[in-house]
Structure 1
Amino acid sequence: MDSISFQQYICNLDPTSLPRVVKICSGVYFQGSVYEILGSECCLSTGDLMKIVDVQLQKVTCENMENGHMFDLPQDFKGLFQPIPETPGGTQKKPFSLNPFSTQSKTAEFCGRLYSLQEVLRSAAVRQKRLSCLEIGRSEFQLYPVYKVKAIMHFRNGVVKIDSTLDVEVVDVTEESRDVYFIKPLMLSEVLLSDHRLPVEAEILEAPELPIAFQSDWVSCLSKGCRVHIHSKGSSRQILASSQQGKKGACHYFLLSSSYKGTFRRCPRKFSSTTELALSLGPARKLQVVVTKDHNSSEEMPLFTVGDRLRVLSLARADNPSGMDMLVCCRDNGEEEEEEEQVRLPLFLEAGFVEDLRDNKKYTLSEVVQELQLPCEVKVVPKDAADPLGSVSILRLEAQIKEHCLLVSLANEPSLAFEIPPKWMDVPLFFTEGSEKPSPPTSCSKVEELSEAFYYHLLKLLPSNVPPPPRPPKRRDSKLNNCPEKPGERKTSAAEISKPPFRESKSQESAKTGARQDSLRYPNQYTIQYGPQRPPKPTKPCFQVTGTSASDDSDHDYEELCEEVQKTVHKLQRASIKH
């Protein structure tokens, strides 16, 4: 069969014969050119097959053959059309039809009757003629229908929607393509959500998009044409970790599987202030530290020097005028018979401490998560020479991550498997038909190396487990400052206006100097948010500046102040009357 235009093929297509398979032959769209319409992109190359599953009329364009004016007719147009006979010597192209029951009739047979719009569209012989229609004018017209075609193509994830006006040549190959299977590609993320039975063999259509999250060896094998076995799907708990070899050494970033069999030892933590010690207190773990930085003492604060050993006990809430929370510790003098000396250290005290570890226990990865507080640093104890972390000495464990994964292995190396989280690395593939069910893998990768950019991307997405910074305590303002102001009442009294500019006395200046020294000696008098907070103390009722006396003896000083202010106001009033 000779090739025809796609528009001619669709216009003459019998809808009852669907689906039909056509082959792209030639035209302006060939050799991988791209045709895009309404957001649907379709690559059409010479030789491509397309299975047409549905054809829907979109519009009918009517052309006035006298002036070339074109307009659209509604699909429910009720007017009637009559074919115009050809002039002597005219030729008529034979219409193409896929309907085997259709017959070609002579032109004297259909020019004498009227046709509805739908009848014109169904008859190729009538549609290709010039028509007259009194409902739209006395000119000659020609109709051009436009159809929306739904088709299935190789390696297309969904149904392709294209217009019948696509400028390509096609040929019908339905009979020769009865056994052709149209491959439908899937993304790994779609496999994870689908109910397809696993295990299954699949072929990768495209390599992972850049940037790639993983830097493991198996990533480079996931190229176009690579065959993989997808064994199962599930959730995986992994630990985000990093390692730096030396101060200026290269950094490496990992995801440790919960099935990793290596062991770890705790690394001593370092603290630069007493606040960090308080934040590191846990309900079950005891914290013992060694002082690494001297601190000069005062009369109220004990002296501790480098080498002193302290056992941190608890955090004592502020119950003193200074308003500072204190860290309760015991000083270890190294003598068993002597009683331990209890000391209290203020928070926000800059100092140096290092954790005093007195156990040499080896922890598995699950024990690290359960017993130690993440993030933490651990020393890697390799299990054997094949341990993937054998070259790592110190590892910083950040947090535990749970993600949905697919267990995948390479078809040419089925013994080694790895977990792919489609959320982090998605690739297109299709299931290969007729392949045998893959056997389960004998091992799985326990440690995956990450790229630096992806490591910090994950780190940024993790919820922060650092407690909020402590807030300073509320100032104990005078009750006079807390009194609500009456409507129309002035904030400054007449006595305050008449007073000369304020000058500090020597005693006041010396008091301020002492306060500055105290603030330098105890620089951070704040309250740390740790553990359950005590309910606030009930506040006393606010007193107004009036001449009435109060029953509370503790506010007697405010009553005396009020009387003095009133006397001063009366004196000013009498002086103004005299003048």
Structure 2
Amino acid sequence: MGDLQSLRVFINCLDQQSLPRVLQVCSGVYFQGSVYELSGSEVCLSTGDLVKIIGLQLLSVSCEEIDTGATYELPTDYSGQFRLVAEELPYNAIEEIVGLCPVGVDACGSFIFTSREELTIDNFTVPAGTKLTLVTVEDADNGERLARCHVVGQNKASAEILLPLSLKGEFYEYESDRGFTLQEIMSSVRLSCRRFRSTNMKNCGALMVFSPVYEISAIMHMRKNVVKFPSSLEVDVQDVTEQFQDLVFITPLSLTEVASQPKQSFPTMAEILDGPEGDPFFNSSWFKELQSGRQLVLHGCGHTTYILASTPKGKKGKQYYFISERYGGRMRRRAREFGSVYELYLGSSQSPGLKVSVTRYVEAEEEEAIPALSVGEQLEVLRLDRPMDISGAAQKVESLICKRTMEVDDEDDEDDEEDDSEELFLPLFMAGHFVEKLSDNKKYKLTDLMGSTFPLDVKVVTRDKDLEKDPLMGLTALKLEETFTETIVLASLSNKPDWCFELPVSWLKMSVCFTSDHLPWSSDEPPDLHIETVTEVTEKFYYEYHKCISKIEEPPPRPPKRKPSNSKAPKKPPKSEKKLPKVKINVTEQLDDLSLYQTKGKRVPAPPPPDDNPDQPPPILPRKSISNAESVSMPNMYVTGPTNARNTAKRLSDSDHDYESIEDALNNPHESLFY
């Protein structure tokens, strides 16, 4: 049993190569009100708790000023440097130097000392004050231990001498001006316990000592997860590793760690510590059972090939499935449908020699080189043609060369059928409706279709008898999109040990721990396992999967831009430049007298007061101005009307409605034509 000491001192002196170590908390009680939280992990320590230290990570460096006792923490990447302060007390023998200081050159230099008196070794004299660098310790032939030291003499001549460890004298550590970073100080056992001054201060700077602050990763007794807490907690601990060697600590394991266990570890019982986190990826019934505290039977681990499948969009929306290669149902191939020539091209690149039937009439367009297609025509995709230049288009487009044949009756000869075939050039941007022609009606196993080119449309016609309920049976269509391989853990619930399901390691973030509980069957009679081979997944999984594989499809081509026409239409002369008949001037003056073309927005002056002469016509009342768009058509100026303007104006003045009188005035010249 180790000595009682504080947690900080124990961790600072701990050799990380000796981990794991078991500690017992001897003083200091930390209840819920004093819970320490670090990086989202909470821990509370109580007297008597057993803690198994499994890892250390440097968080920061605690700096303490010796004179004032002030403490503060510095980050590990602190850019400042510190100078080592030499010890004032002398060393009385070389053996004392070797015992207190590490021997050998490390990244932070070696121990340098001087002698206050002159040294004479084998006719070699070392003047007092000469710097001696301790290199190593050697054993002589007579069994005497010697310290090999490096000496730099006059004219920078260097040499090495051997000093017996029993050599007595008065030796002092040499203080250099070299600066050390925090990382260098913490990585050296010799420097981590020494005193320093800041390089910015000379001899007046405060003396400082540094101590590391670690993040401790530990497993606590009767706790089911790894806890993390800082080494700066004021807790006294005792090392009890030797007394509790046989103590079993529960170790949490992720699914990745479970899959890396040897085969001899299975089957075994396990308990769920933390269930799946985040948005669910699975819609299966077993996924809802993965709750914290639930018992599982782990039967083994391995690799399984899956097929990602989807259904057409229906009342329930699109559905997505994992289908294992163990699936035992039978499938029949289903004709694919294509909504454009570009989709037809993609299908032909996956299935060479693709034959389709036209299901919707397409009208020909000569300008865009689109041929006419009739319902029932048979097309066989031959190849992709080079970009062709469409007349009237601003760019070249690619076209798909197809062989067109018409459906013939059985009475027709084969020669006539060959004569009816022709090659068509279908632009890729062309819209259309095509259905694949299938020649076989065979029932396939899933393993037989895995060698085909995907995507592939199928329909399940025979259910998998090993499943309680086959979710694929009854679907109108199923598209097999692609295959992939996953690392899985084969598991089952403790109340149904024979009905197994596969846990994909890379898509389930959960932790379990092995338990010593007995398996739910007798050792001599293991059950026959029924593996669930179809797993329904969510739409979120479908898109997350495609993000991981970074599958990007090219968009379909756009229709070509039209070229601007070279023939320019003659410009219409502006209205102001149109030639008007000379007689229109008179008509314009006449209409101006009738106030038809008054400027909008200008107020018409009031008419003069009437005189007593009855021969004069009454004054013309002002009218609202109308725009040219609201005016009526111009009268025929080449026919003379039977009435003059004066009589017309008189008749207009007797009318209750001005607009009716104006219409009559404009229409009378037209009526005179028939007169």
TM range (shorter): 0.5 to 0.7
When residues 145 and 287 of structure 1 are mapped into structure 2, their CA distance, relative to the original with a 3 A threshold, is: closer
CA shift at 1:425, angstroms?
0.5
Residue identity in the other structure for 2:250: I
The reply to whether residue 226 of structure 1 matches residue 294 of structure 2 is yes
What is aligned with 1:430? 513
CA shift at 1:209, angstroms?
0.7
Range that drifts further, 19-28 or 361-370: 19-28
Range that drifts further, 3-12 or 353-362: 3-12
Contact preservation (8 Å) 1:382, 1:389: no
The reply to whether residue 330 of structure 1 matches residue 330 of structure 2 is no
The reply to whether residue 352 of structure 1 matches residue 353 of structure 2 is no
Range that drifts further, 24-33 or 419-428: 24-33
Q: How far, CA to CA, are the matches of 1:18 and 1:353 in structure 2?
A: 69
What is aligned with 1:259? 326
CA shift at 1:403, angstroms?
1.8
Match of 2:497 among 414, 426, 429: 414
Identity of aligned residues (%): 28
Structure 2 counterpart SS, 1:229 = strand
Q: TM-score, normalised by structure 2?
A: 0.51
Matches within 5 A, 1:151-170: 152-154=218-220, 162-163=230-231, 165-168=232-235
Cα distance per residue 1:523-567 (max 9 Å; x no partner) = xxxxxxxxxxxxxxxxxxxxxxxxxxxxxxxxxxxxxxxxxxxxx
What is aligned with 2:23? 21
Cα distance per residue 1:497-528 (max 9 Å; x no partner) = xxxxxx95789xxxxxxxxxxxxxxxxxxxxx
Q: How far, CA to CA, are the matches of 1:459 and 1:304 in structure 2?
A: 37
Residue identity in the other structure for 2:298: I
CA shift at 1:255, angstroms?
0.5
Matches within 5 A, 1:244-393: 244=312, 247-281=314-348, 286-297=353-364, 304-306=373-375, 308-315=376-383, 317=385, 325=399, 326-335=401-410, 337-338=412-413, 339-340=416-417, 341-348=420-427, 349-371=430-452, 373-383=453-463, 386-393=469-476
Greater radius of gyration (CA): 2
Note the residue ranges of structure 1 that are not aligned, 5 or more in a row.
82-115, 117-135, 474-502, 508-579
Q: TM-score, normalised by structure 1?
A: 0.58
Cα distance per residue 1:114-150 (max 9 Å; x no partner) = xx9xxxxxxxxxxxxxxxxxxx99x9x9999777596
What is aligned with 2:276? 208
Q: How far, CA to CA, are the matches of 1:392 and 1:400 in structure 2?
A: 20
Residue identity in the other structure for 1:243: T
What is aligned with 2:254? 187
Cα distance per residue 1:465-508 (max 9 Å; x no partner) = 856756999xxxxxxxxxxxxxxxxxxxxxxxxxxxxx95789x
CA shift at 1:267, angstroms?
2.3
Q: How far, CA to CA, are the matches of 1:222 and 1:207 in structure 2?
A: 6
When residues 150 and 368 of structure 1 are mapped into structure 2, their CA distance, relative to the original with a 3 A threshold, is: closer
Structure 2 counterpart SS, 1:205 = strand
What is aligned with 2:663? none
Q: How far, CA to CA, are the matches of 1:342 and 1:54 in structure 2?
A: 77
Please tell me the root mean square deviation across aligned C-alpha atoms, in Å: 5.1
CA shift at 1:296, angstroms?
3.7
Cα distance per residue 1:354-406 (max 9 Å; x no partner) = 223353222222233334x4223322213257423234232222221222222
Contact preservation (8 Å) 2:62, 2:72: no
Contact preservation (8 Å) 2:272, 2:290: yes
Structure 2 counterpart SS, 1:281 = helix
When residues 188 and 455 of structure 1 are mapped into structure 2, their CA distance, relative to the original with a 3 A threshold, is: same
When residues 200 and 58 of structure 1 are mapped into structure 2, their CA distance, relative to the original with a 3 A threshold, is: farther
CA shift at 1:234, angstroms?
2.3
When residues 256 and 332 of structure 1 are mapped into structure 2, their CA distance, relative to the original with a 3 A threshold, is: same
Q: How far, CA to CA, are the matches of 2:19 and 2:492 in structure 1?
A: 44
Structure 1 counterpart SS, 2:257 = helix
When residues 456 and 382 of structure 1 are mapped into structure 2, their CA distance, relative to the original with a 3 A threshold, is: farther
Contact preservation (8 Å) 2:255, 2:511: yes
What is aligned with 1:101? none
Matches within 5 A, 1:76-91: 78-80=87-89
CA shift at 1:210, angstroms?
1.7
When residues 25 and 213 of structure 1 are mapped into structure 2, their CA distance, relative to the original with a 3 A threshold, is: farther
Q: How far, CA to CA, are the matches of 2:54 and 2:347 in structure 1?
A: 67
How many residues matched? 419
Contact preservation (8 Å) 1:312, 1:328: yes
Q: How far, CA to CA, are the matches of 1:331 and 1:76 in structure 2?
A: 100
Residue identity in the other structure for 2:50: L
Note the residue ranges of structure 2 that are not aligned, 5 or more in a row.
74-81, 91-172, 174-202, 391-395, 561-565, 571-675
CA shift at 1:450, angstroms?
0.7
The reply to whether residue 239 of structure 1 matches residue 307 of structure 2 is yes
Contact preservation (8 Å) 1:32, 1:44: yes
When residues 375 and 142 of structure 1 are mapped into structure 2, their CA distance, relative to the original with a 3 A threshold, is: closer
When residues 454 and 53 of structure 1 are mapped into structure 2, their CA distance, relative to the original with a 3 A threshold, is: closer
Cα distance per residue 1:419-475 (max 9 Å; x no partner) = 2221111211222257569858612110001122112222444464856756999xx
When residues 464 and 40 of structure 1 are mapped into structure 2, their CA distance, relative to the original with a 3 A threshold, is: closer
CA shift at 1:35, angstroms?
3.9
Contact preservation (8 Å) 2:405, 2:422: yes
When residues 76 and 27 of structure 1 are mapped into structure 2, their CA distance, relative to the original with a 3 A threshold, is: farther
Q: How far, CA to CA, are the matches of 2:534 and 2:255 in structure 1?
A: 21
What is aligned with 2:122? none
Match of 1:455 among 542, 549, 553: 542
Cα distance per residue 1:258-314 (max 9 Å; x no partner) = 1111122222222233443343226876534332222345899875422x2314151
Residue identity in the other structure for 1:49: L
Contact preservation (8 Å) 1:200, 1:431: no
Cα distance per residue 1:6-29 (max 9 Å; x no partner) = 459849999999955313764346
Q: How far, CA to CA, are the matches of 1:253 and 1:378 in structure 2?
A: 14
Contact preservation (8 Å) 1:35, 1:44: no
When residues 465 and 151 of structure 1 are mapped into structure 2, their CA distance, relative to the original with a 3 A threshold, is: closer
Contact preservation (8 Å) 1:408, 1:417: yes
Contact preservation (8 Å) 1:205, 1:225: yes
